[in-house]
């Protein structure tokens, strides 16, 4: 949560310093290249392949030593491959930028700036991939703090760059790009130290295709393609946006940053936390316990995600105006970003559910099924982009993202249910239905508050903060208050959390 909040603060400052223009667009594409691999490895393929295999060894006869040996064998092959890919990327950077945002090729200055900034940020790819390896080790040992906090360090460094170079334009964009790599170094230092403190000090070995490495690749390659399909979807979206009006990349980024706040705090955290536990119960032949964990994660995920999705959909423009407007970020920018957010947020619950459902496949070392589903989702996303973007522009792309998120969620759940691996319990289904009722009441409340306080969102900083606090406070009171009354919230769980534990006699 600290990481996501700091990331959000970074975007607020960046909006004011860079705005929504050529310089913001260029940096965001440059950051997207290595950041795509961050999501690719850290939240997808690498974890899916590494965590279950490390967990098997760690909880098996070999224990810590066998798990450590496996990690060193993977690192010995992983590091040279990353180094080679980074060098190739630097040499082929103009081609990579063109593949990512060919729409910029028509503007020589914008294309050259994007190319230069991409060269600066690209080494982050190698650093964050190594962070993913150490994070996989720590997560498998149920030590989540360091790996979860590591992204906060990147956000702190980027915030510092914006505050040190607040002039905007190319200077601030370049400072941000350099900060990305510095942040990657600091992140790697943190997880390396945490792993060493946990008893895992990895030494470099000669690269060899050991049985453990071959097993790792058998699992991770399909997962890589599955994660790669999702990333290809992002790259295709980037291509579409590169042909839209200047600033569209920035508008989409700021909207997505708000959308990612609950997704990162809730969805990614849940998915990361439940994978080792589900893997353990599957290995122990206790599928009922694995299903119980997924049901609990789904109930908690929807309880916390639904109000965020409704708030973004019902009050996107006032929220963006209150949080981002100022400096280079104009009222017109706030309207476009807010409307984009309202459409993207329609898929927010689905994004979180996907994070809860996919561990059901990965824990069983099944990465091929998510790959097949991801390919269908990618095809649907391309079709919807071609259908919506020509007449809806950026809003069409946002709507396509939301619809394909639900398609992905539905296909994953139906597959798990057919195989008997997971089914939403009647208890959880009833709870989620009541959460939807509370969320609908909250949406009506937000609309009324927005109508009443509308002018304040366009006032000074103090007025906007008062209006925003009133909006959030009213929505929160209605959602959680009504939720408590109609049973959308598990009262017993809340009371257990609030009750002080008595010391043993």
- pLDDT exceeds 90 at position 171: yes
| Predicted local distance difference test score (pLDDT) of residue 496 | 47
> Which of 272-281, 408-417, 491-500 shows the lowest mean pLDDT across its residues?
491-500
- pLDDT exceeds 60 at position 154: yes
| Predicted local distance difference test score (pLDDT) of residue 497 | 42
Answer whether 345's CB lies under 8 Å from 395's CB. Answer: no
Query: Percent of the chain, pLDDT > 70?
Result: 89
One DSSP character per residue, 227-248 reads: HHHHHHHHHHHHHHHHTS-TTH
Token pair for residue 450?
Answer: 């927005």
Model confidence, pTM:
0.74
Residue-wise pLDDT for 38-75, tens only, equals 666 545 566 666 777 777 777 777 777 777 788 788 88
Spatial distance between the Cα atoms of 167 and 170, rounded to a whole number of angstroms: 9
| Predicted local distance difference test score (pLDDT) of residue 500 | 45
Spatial distance between the Cα atoms of 298 and 277, rounded to a whole number of angstroms: 15
Q: Which of 246, 247, 241, 259 is nearest to 395 (CA)?
A: 241
Which is higher by pLDDT, 485 or 457?
Answer: 485
Output the CA torsion sign for 40, 173, 401, 255. positive
- Helix 45-58 with 211-242: angle, nearest 10 deg: 160
- Range 469-485 average pLDDT: 89
Residue-wise pLDDT for 236-247, tens only, equals 888 898 888 888
Q: Determine how many CB atoms are found less than 10 A away from the CB of residue 388.
A: 19
- Range 318-332 average pLDDT: 84
| Predicted local distance difference test score (pLDDT) of residue 176 | 94
Residue-wise pLDDT for 82-108, tens only, equals 889 889 989 999 998 998 888 898 889
- pLDDT exceeds 90 at position 458: no
The alpha carbons of the chain give a radius of gyration, in whole angstroms, of 23
Residue ranges covered by each domain of the chain: 1-243, 245-425
Helix-then-strand count for the chain, H and E: 21, 0
Spatial distance between the Cα atoms of 135 and 262, rounded to a whole number of angstroms: 21
Angle (CA) 145-354-303 rounded to 5° is: 70
Of 87-91, 257-261, 264-268, highest mean pLDDT = 87-91
Burial class (CB in 10 A: 0-12, 13-18, 19+), 293: buried
């Amino acid at each position: 949560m600290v990481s996501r909040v700091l990331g959000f603060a970074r975007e607020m400052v960046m909006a004011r310093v860079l705005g929504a223009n050529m310089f913001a667009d260029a940096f965001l594409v440059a950051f997207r290249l290595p950041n795509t691999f961050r999501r690719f490895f850290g939240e997808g393929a690498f974890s899916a392949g590494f965590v279950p295999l490390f967990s098997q060894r760690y909880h098996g006869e070999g224990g810590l030593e066998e798990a450590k040996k496996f990690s060193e064998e993977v690192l010995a092959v992983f590091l040279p491959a990353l180094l080679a890919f980074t060098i190739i990327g630097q040499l082929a950077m103009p081609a990579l930028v063109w593949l990512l945002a060919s729409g910029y090729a028509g503007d020589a200055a914008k294309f050259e700036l994007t190319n230069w900034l991409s060269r600066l940020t690209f080494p982050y790819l190698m650093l964050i991939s190594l962070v993913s390896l150490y994070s996989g080790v720590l997560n498998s040992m149920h030590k989540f703090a360091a790996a979860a906090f590591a992204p906060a360090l990147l956000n702190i460094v980027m915030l510092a760059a914006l505050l040190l170079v607040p002039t905007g334009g190319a200077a601030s964009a370049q400072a941000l790009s350099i900060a990305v790599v510095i942040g990657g170094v600091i992140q790697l230092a943190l997880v390396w130290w945490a792993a060493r403190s946990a008893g895992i000090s990895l030494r470099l070995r000669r690269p060899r295709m050991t049985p453990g490495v071959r097993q790792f690749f058998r699992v991770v390659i399909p997962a890589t393609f599955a994660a790669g399909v999702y990333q290809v979807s992002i790259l295709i979206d980037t291509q579409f946006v590169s042909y839209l009006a200047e600033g569209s990349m920035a508008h989409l980024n700021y909207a997505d940053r708000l959308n990612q706040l609950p997704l990162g705090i809730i969805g990614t955290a849940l998915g990361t936390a439940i994978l080792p536990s589900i893997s353990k119960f599957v290995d122990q032949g206790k599928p009922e316990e694995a299903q119980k964990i997924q049901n609990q994660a789904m109930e908690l995920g929807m309880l916390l995600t639904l109000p965020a999705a409704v708030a973004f959909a019902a009050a996107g423009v006032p929220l963006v105006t209150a949080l981002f407007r100022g400096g280079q970020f104009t009222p017109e920018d706030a309207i476009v970003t807010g409307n984009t957010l309202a459409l993207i947020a329609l898929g927010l619950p689905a994004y979180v559910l996907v994070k809860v459902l996919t561990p059901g496949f990965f824990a069983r070392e099944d990465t091929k099924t998510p790959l097949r589903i991801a390919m269908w989702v990618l095809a649907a996303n391309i079709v919807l982009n071609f259908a919506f973007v020509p007449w809806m522009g950026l809003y069409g792309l946002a709507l396509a993202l939301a619809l394909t998120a639900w398609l992905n969620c539905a296909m994953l759940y139906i597959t798990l249910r057919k195989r008997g691996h997971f089914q939403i319990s009647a208890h959880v289904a009833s709870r989620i239905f009541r959460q939807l009722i509370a969320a609908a009441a909250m949406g009506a409340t937000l609309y009324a508050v927005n109508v009443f306080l509308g002018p304040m969102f366009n006032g000074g900083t103090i007025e906007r903060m008062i209006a925003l606090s009133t909006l959030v406070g009213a929505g929160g009171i209605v959602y959680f208050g009504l939720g408590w009354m109609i049973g959308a919230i598990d009262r017993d769980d809340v009371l257990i959390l609030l009750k002080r534990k008595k010391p043993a006699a």
